[in-house]
Amino acid sequence: MNTPASPKQRLIIIGNGMVGHHLVEQLVEQGALERYQVTVFGEERHLAYDRVHLSEYFSGRDAESLALSTADYYAEHGIELRLNEAVFAIDRDVSEVVTDQDRYPYDRVVLATGSFPFVPPIPGNDREGCLVYRTLEDLDAIRAAAEHANTGVVVGGGLLGLEAANALRGLDLDTAVVEFAPRLMPMQVDSEGGELLREKIETLGVQVLTERATQRIEDGDTARHRMVFQDDKILETDLIVFSAGIRPRDELARDCGLEIGERGGVVIDDQCLTSDPQILAIGEVALWQQSIFGLVAPGYQMAKAALATLTDGETRFQGADMSTKLKLLGVDVGSIGDAHGNQNPGARNFRYLDQIKQEYRKLVVSSDGKKLLGAMLVGDNGYFDTLMQYYDNGLELPEDPASLILPSSEGAPALGPDALPETATICSCHNVTKGDICASLDAGAVDLATVKGDTKASSGCGGCAALLKSVVDHELTARGVEVDQSICEHFHYTRQELFDIVRIEGIKTFSELVEKHGHGLGCDICKPAVASILASCFNEPITDAAHIPLQDTNDTFMANMQKNGTYSVVPRIAGGEITPDKLVVLGQVAQKYDLYTKITGGQRIDLFGARLEDLPDIWGELIEAGFETGHAYGKSLRTVKSCVGSTWCRYGVQDSVGMAIRLENRYKGLRAPHKIKFGVSGCTRECAEAQSKDIGVIATEHGWNLYVCGNGGMRPRHAELFATDLSDEELFSTIDRFLMFYVRTADRLQRTSVWRENLEGGLDYLKEVILDDSLGLGDELERQMQTVIDNYQCEWANAISDPDKLKRFRSFVNDERPDPDIIMTSERGQLRPA
Amino acid sequence: MNTATALKDEAHTDVTWQPLCTKADLVAFSGVAAWLETAEGPAQVAIFYLPGLEQELYALEHRDPFSGANVIARGIVGDIKGDAVVASPIYKQHFRLKDGSCVEDDSVTLRTWPIRLDGEKIVIEA
Ligand SMILES: Cc1cc2nc3c(=O)[nH]c(=O)nc-3n(C[C@H](O)[C@H](O)[C@H](O)COP(=O)(O)OP(=O)(O)OC[C@H]3O[C@@H](n4cnc5c(N)ncnc54)[C@H](O)[C@@H]3O)c2cc1C
Ligand code: HEM
Ligand code: SF4
Ligand code: SF4
Ligand code: FES
């Protein structure tokens, strides 16, 4: 162990980009640092960062969070990291690399210099405000230039061009894309796909100009620049981003006489060796069998091959698949293998085009129809994973291959995990196969988290998460491990089962339930879930002593905790109707307690920034003025949004505000698996947007139409028409039954929309249960709802009349002072967290 | 281990058991926050009370390192594989009550203090 090792070899890595850094990680993990003293040169100021997610720099991520590592990591492993120091020559005669600071001797060199954006040789391309999109510094420059600009143009309609266009749009510029070819993304899609992509992108307000070759750029009249095209047409803009392809940064290799490809790129073999065996090249600078690989996964594979070369290992680079799955400007685009069908003579196509939904899919199959050679997707990448598996593993296609791209209500017929061979790649970022996952399970992993830790699967782009989970679940089941549906480790029951236990046995506290049917102390998953079940069944005040420890802080303090530990106060304003007197009170309370006020999307007023110890006083004043809690903190009924209806509106056919207020007062305080929102519109014009709510009510000449299971938020879903022309009473009883059935059968944190989508039998089944009473549950559901309604009390009114409950509203139990760390500043005339 | 603790006690003679609050201030199976003055300056302490367990009282730093807000006492108490934990109410990371270590991120640990019941008084070593 202590024998003096032969002196370490000096390894120099030029370029600290994604691939160069991956090599460093490999060197560390594989113990190669025992043999090599490593020095890394990076021209950029920043340590290697995640270029793939570069655009997120504009949507809130900073350089630090994009970084792939830290200076400490390099230091800890004794790797010398010289950032901001470009190598400008490799002197092969004396085996030294040269920078403007010094000369550094080497035994081996790895070139990982990546590529640079190609700027077409157009006169005027160097004008101020003509930029590129590759580094953090480029993005800083774009951001700075955008401040004084109204319009922006991206030259180049490929993958990166569209990403740049999205960024310009995000900077509030009127954006256009200029492409030389007749369509967008000529590499990935054909003319139908390109046309569809254009339509989709134009609806987003980005102008698309194809078949335009820019001749020159000069001073503009209405904007900073004028671009003149081949037909003398012009386009004026303040800012231009060139994204016309990438070129390998092979200048160092060129200058020192290494073999370079005809169109650039440092020629390497399967071991990543260049024409000088002392020097290796990896990543986008390397040319392997006449190809440059402009994606990160092949670069990582090269890094692994280079490591093997440096450590006498076996791994070789054997080419890589260039299939891609992307979301560009919100549009799904996927391309697999020979997507154009021009590399395989005799190949046949299947194509599916839906101009209404704007989806396009194409399959390229072998002449005997048995193998998938390529595929192209625009509009819906839901089909990608399955197709990729057919392609990647050479699986035999089903009898009718078209079924793979035809729409079906469930999406593409999924290829079950058991149909995949062991060699199937599950995660392409980290090159993890189904075999690797099985190996991890065989070595003792029993859950997804451990498999992820073992294999790194799903820790790159994340695109494989769903597939990974289905493979792990399937393999676990196959190994006889029951895939656990239970709510958490403390109860071996689903939420629905727990609900039935509580209801049937009349259990009223968490401690009783955990004693009889669970074990341990519970956790932040089962406790709030059980609290919600208890409330749905018995509706005792959630601040009663037995329930307090169960609640999320929001429920405990009956206010929503904000990011600095203060709370928001949201009184109920049923139906969005409020008297001027009450409005004045809200203003006075906000002034007195220095609260930020904002009108919410739910037609009421939020008061933000309340300190814990002020909450009881604030609510005291609000309750005095006739307000009650709005339950904005609870998984419960939020608001019933309404339009002004027949009382004022000349189109209205019913009093939508009146109905909204009755509904809100009926269901306020109902605890549910998730929040519930309602909307009521006074006529079919639907100004209250009721069809985006869990419960939507729209007035008709004869009564009310009821819509259910809509959703806004992250995954919008239109509510479905459930019953028509209901009287007021019919409306109430139908909603009673519907909501109680949802409360009883949904999973924890499942909105009505997701519940409905997972409900076997779908809408028809739901109608049978609720409208035709097929389960004979109708009366019971209505009775149960009536219990909840009868037991309603305003939780705040209840709390402020109970000194014991008020004790909790102190920042410190032993000190009067407020939390000194809450610091506010002001913005637009109000306070906000500093 | 033992010697290290003993040495520390000798070196810091200003570390003593001081009263913090009373048993009536606590909420069973939940947390409350208290203000603590120490020789090194003030601190905010989250006190958790789990009656019936082998260790009934725990004192942890009240500041949530992920959000910077002083809110740990307001988290839900539970257990993960038998270890008593509190979940931060802001971004939901779990901290072990025993030693303050974060379940999701090994590099993060909340400070802890020895704490015990002395009659009706809660005393802390700081
Ligand atoms: C906006 C954007 C989005 C992308 N999206 C994806 C995607 O979704 N999926 C995907 O697979 N790929 C994507 N890519 C491509 C991916 O980022 C690259 O394939 C990958 O970064 C290549 O890694 P590399 O290490 O070869 O080069 P780079 O990451 O470019 O690193 C090379 C580094 O070497 C430095 N360097 C160059 N010359 C010298 C010198 N003489 N001395 C010292 N240092 C030098 C450079 O400054 C640079 O920091 C995207 C790229 C961009 C720009
Ligand atoms: C920490 C998480 C969240 C907090 C604290 C929060 C808070 C709020 C608050 C206080 C309101 C005003 C509601 C009212 O007046 O009662 C609101 C409205 C809204 N929230 Fe959230 N929310 C959160 C998460 C979400 C999520 C995840 C979604 C999407 C799935 C969402 C979608 C909405 C929508 C669509 C509205 C507008 C309501 C309407 O127009 O009816 N919220 N939110
Ligand atoms: S939905 Fe009908 S009644 Fe309501 S505001 Fe719109 S037009 Fe008027
Ligand atoms: S959309 Fe909702 S969750 Fe997101 S920042 Fe706005 S209020 Fe918060
Ligand atoms: S495919 Fe990107 S993380 Fe797995």
Statement: residue A504 has pLDDT above 80: no
Give which of A588, A689, A677 is closest to A630, Cα–Cα: A677
Q: Which residues of B touch A811 (CB under 8 A)?
A: 33, 70
State whether B81 and A564 contact (CB < 8 Å): no
Token pair belonging to A279: 């020097």
State the CB neighbour count (10 A cutoff) for residue B61.
19
Q: What is the percent of chain A with per-residue pLDDT over 90, rounded to a whole number?
A: 49
| Helix ranges, A443-525 (H) | 448-455, 465-478, 495-505, 510-517
Q: How many domains does chain B have?
A: 1
Pick the CATH number of A324-415 from 1.10.3720.10, 3.40.50.1980, 3.30.390.30, 3.40.50.920: 3.30.390.30
Ligand 5 centroid from CA A320, angstroms: 15
Q: Amino acid identity, residue B69? A: A
State the CB neighbour count (10 A cutoff) for residue A760.
5
User: What confidence score (pLDDT) does residue A80 get?
Assistant: 96
pLDDT band at A411 (very low <50, low <70, confident <90, very high): very low
- Burial label for A279, CB within 10 Å (0-12, 13-18, 19+), is buried
pLDDT band at A415 (very low <50, low <70, confident <90, very high): low
Statement: residue A739 has pLDDT above 80: yes
Kindly give, in sequence order, each residue whose CB lies less than 8 Å from that of residue A38, ignoring residues fewer than 6 positions away: A11, A12, A13, A24, A27, A78, A79, A80
| Contact with chain B for residue A559, Cβ under 8 A | no
Give domain status of residue B99, yes or no.
yes
State whether A815 and B35 contact (CB < 8 Å): yes
| Contact with chain B for residue A565, Cβ under 8 A | yes
Mean of the pLDDT values across residues B28-46?
Answer: 88
Q: What is the percent of chain B with per-residue pLDDT over 70, rounded to a whole number?
A: 88
Give domain status of residue B91, yes or no.
yes
Residues in chain A: 834
| CA nearest ligand 5 atom 1, residue | A427
The A225-229 sheet, strands edge to edge: A214-219, A225-229, A234-237
- Burial label for A126, CB within 10 Å (0-12, 13-18, 19+), is exposed
Give which of A756, A683, A745, A746 is closest to A719, Cα–Cα: A756
**How far is residue A303's CA from residue A321's CA, in Å, rounded to a whole number?**
16
Q: Which of B54, B56, B74 to mutate to test the interface with A (most CBs of A within 10 A)?
A: B74
| Contact with chain B for residue A834, Cβ under 8 A | no
Q: Point out which residues pair with A291 in neighbouring strands.
A: A288
Residue indicated by tokens 């060796």: A273
Q: Which of B18, B23, B29 to mutate to test the interface with A (most CBs of A within 10 A)?
A: B29
Q: Is A488 labelled a binding residue?
A: no
Statement: residue A562 has pLDDT above 50: yes
Mean of the pLDDT values across residues A339-357?
Answer: 85
Q: Is A687 labelled a binding residue?
A: yes
Statement: residue A377 has pLDDT above 60: yes
Provide the CATH number for the domain around residue B69: 2.102.10.10
| Contact with chain A for residue B8, Cβ under 8 A | no
pLDDT band at A6 (very low <50, low <70, confident <90, very high): low
State whether B35 and A817 contact (CB < 8 Å): yes
Across chain A, mean pLDDT equals 88
- Least confident residue range of A235-249, A435-449, A645-659, A691-705: A435-449
List A residues 625-654 in contact with B (Cβ-Cβ < 8 A).
none
SS3 A770: helix
Residue indicated by tokens 């004979």: A776
Kindly give, in sequence order, each residue whose CB lies less than 8 Å from that of residue A190, ignoring residues fewer than 6 positions away: A183, A339, A340, A362, A376
Kindly give, in sequence order, each residue whose CB lies less than 8 Å from that of residue A138, ignoring residues fewer than 6 positions away: A131, A132
Q: How many CB pairs under 8 A join A and B?
A: 99
Q: Which residues of B touch A554 (CB under 8 A)?
A: 89
- Listed as own residue / partner, the contacts of A655-659 with beta carbons closer than 8 Å and 24 or more positions apart are A655/A682, A656/A680, A656/A681, A656/A682, A656/A688, A656/A697, A656/A699, A657/A575, A657/A576, A657/A577, A657/A682, A658/A575, A659/A697, A659/A699, A659/A704, A659/A728, A659/A731
State the CB neighbour count (10 A cutoff) for residue A255.
11
Token pair belonging to A580: 């001027």
- Burial label for A650, CB within 10 Å (0-12, 13-18, 19+), is exposed
User: What confidence score (pLDDT) does residue B14 get?
Assistant: 57
**How are beta strands A151-155 and A239-242 bridged, if at all?**
parallel
Residue indicated by tokens 């339950």: A631
Give domain status of residue B107, yes or no.
yes
User: What confidence score (pLDDT) does residue A1 get?
Assistant: 42
| CA nearest ligand 1 atom 49, residue | A17
Statement: residue A737 has pLDDT above 70: yes
A637-790 maps to which CATH number? 3.30.413.10
User: What confidence score (pLDDT) does residue A463 get?
Assistant: 66
**How far is residue A525's CA from residue A486's CA, in Å, rounded to a whole number?**
11
Tell me the pLDDT tens digit for each residue of A727-736.
999 999 999 9
State the CB neighbour count (10 A cutoff) for residue A298.
24
| Nearest-by-Cβ selection for B90 from A522, A563, A822 | A563
User: What confidence score (pLDDT) does residue A534 get?
Assistant: 87
| Contact with chain A for residue B20, Cβ under 8 A | yes
Statement: residue A421 has pLDDT above 90: no
Mean of the pLDDT values across residues A541-548?
Answer: 70
State whether B44 and A812 contact (CB < 8 Å): yes
State whether A563 and B92 contact (CB < 8 Å): no
| Contact with chain A for residue B55, Cβ under 8 A | no
Superfamily of domain A425-478: BFD-like [2Fe-2S]-binding domain (1.10.10.1100)
User: What confidence score (pLDDT) does residue A450 get?
Assistant: 82
Residue B75: closest C-alpha in chain A:
A553
Q: Which residues of B touch A551 (CB under 8 A)?
A: 76
| Contact with chain B for residue A549, Cβ under 8 A | yes
**How far is residue A15's CA from residue A285's CA, in Å, rounded to a whole number?**
10
* Ligand 1, residues at Cβ distance < 6 Å: A 14-20, 41-44, 51-52, 54-55, 86-87, 112-114, 133-134, 160, 163, 249, 252, 283-284, 294-297, 299
User: What confidence score (pLDDT) does residue A482 get?
Assistant: 61
Tell me the pLDDT tens digit for each residue of A109-129.
999 999 999 999 999 998 888
Looking at the complex, report in whole angstroms how far the Cα of residue B18 sits from the nearest Cα belonging to chain A: 13
Kindly give, in sequence order, each residue whose CB lies less than 8 Å from that of residue A371, ignoring residues fewer than 6 positions away: A365, A394, A396, A397
| Contact with chain A for residue B104, Cβ under 8 A | no
Kindly give, in sequence order, each residue whose CB lies less than 8 Å from that of residue A821, ignoring residues fewer than 6 positions away: B44, B63, B68, B69, B70
The domain A9-116+248-310 having CATH identifier 3.50.50.60: the answer here is yes
Give which of A620, A578, A614 is closest to A599, Cα–Cα: A578
Q: Is A649 labelled a binding residue?
A: yes
Whether the CA torsion A717, A720, A725, A727 is positive or negative: it is negative
**C-alpha to C-alpha distances, A385 to A30, A347, A463, nearest whole angstrom:** 31, 22, 9
**How are beta strands A279-281 and A207-209 bridged, if at all?**
unpaired
Residue to substitute in A560, A599, A600 for testing ligand 2 pocket (most ligand atoms within 8 angstroms of CB)? A600
* Cβ(A1) – ligand 2 distance below 6 Å: no
**How far is residue A291's CA from residue A213's CA, in Å, rounded to a whole number?**
26
Q: What is the ipTM of this complex?
A: 0.78
Token pair belonging to B18: 């001081």
Query: What is the domain range of residue B99?
Result: 14-125
Mean of the pLDDT values across residues A499-523?
Answer: 85
Looking at the complex, report in whole angstroms how far the Cα of residue B91 sits from the nearest Cα belonging to chain A: 9
Q: Which residues of A touch B71 (CB under 8 A)?
A: 553, 561, 565
| Contact with chain B for residue A306, Cβ under 8 A | no
Q: Which has the higher per-residue pLDDT, A327 or A338?
A: A338
Whether the CA torsion A376, A381, A383, A388 is positive or negative: it is positive
Tell me the pLDDT tens digit for each residue of A9-68.
999 999 999 999 999 999 999 999 999 999 999 999 999 999 988 988 988 788 888 999
Q: Which atom of ligand 5 lies nearest, measured to the CA of A457? A: 4
Residue indicated by tokens 């999109």: A133
**C-alpha to C-alpha distances, A417 to A444, A447, A468, A693, A731, nearest whole angstrom:** 20, 16, 9, 36, 45
Superfamily of domain A130-244: FAD/NAD(P)-binding domain (3.50.50.60)
Residue to substitute in A655, A656, A705, A707 for testing ligand 3 pocket (most ligand atoms within 8 angstroms of CB)? A656
**Ligand in nearest proximity to the CA of A462:** 5
* Cβ(A563) – ligand 2 distance below 6 Å: no
| Nearest-by-Cβ selection for A521 from B47, B67, B79 | B79
State whether A549 and B29 contact (CB < 8 Å): yes
| Contact with chain B for residue A807, Cβ under 8 A | yes
| Contact with chain B for residue A453, Cβ under 8 A | no
DSSP string of A436-456, one letter each residue: HHHHHHHTT--SHHHHHHHH-
Cβ atoms A795, A540 nearer than 8 A? no
Give which of A745, A736, A747 is closest to A788, Cα–Cα: A736
**How far is residue A367's CA from residue A302's CA, in Å, rounded to a whole number?**
34
User: What confidence score (pLDDT) does residue A767 get?
Assistant: 92
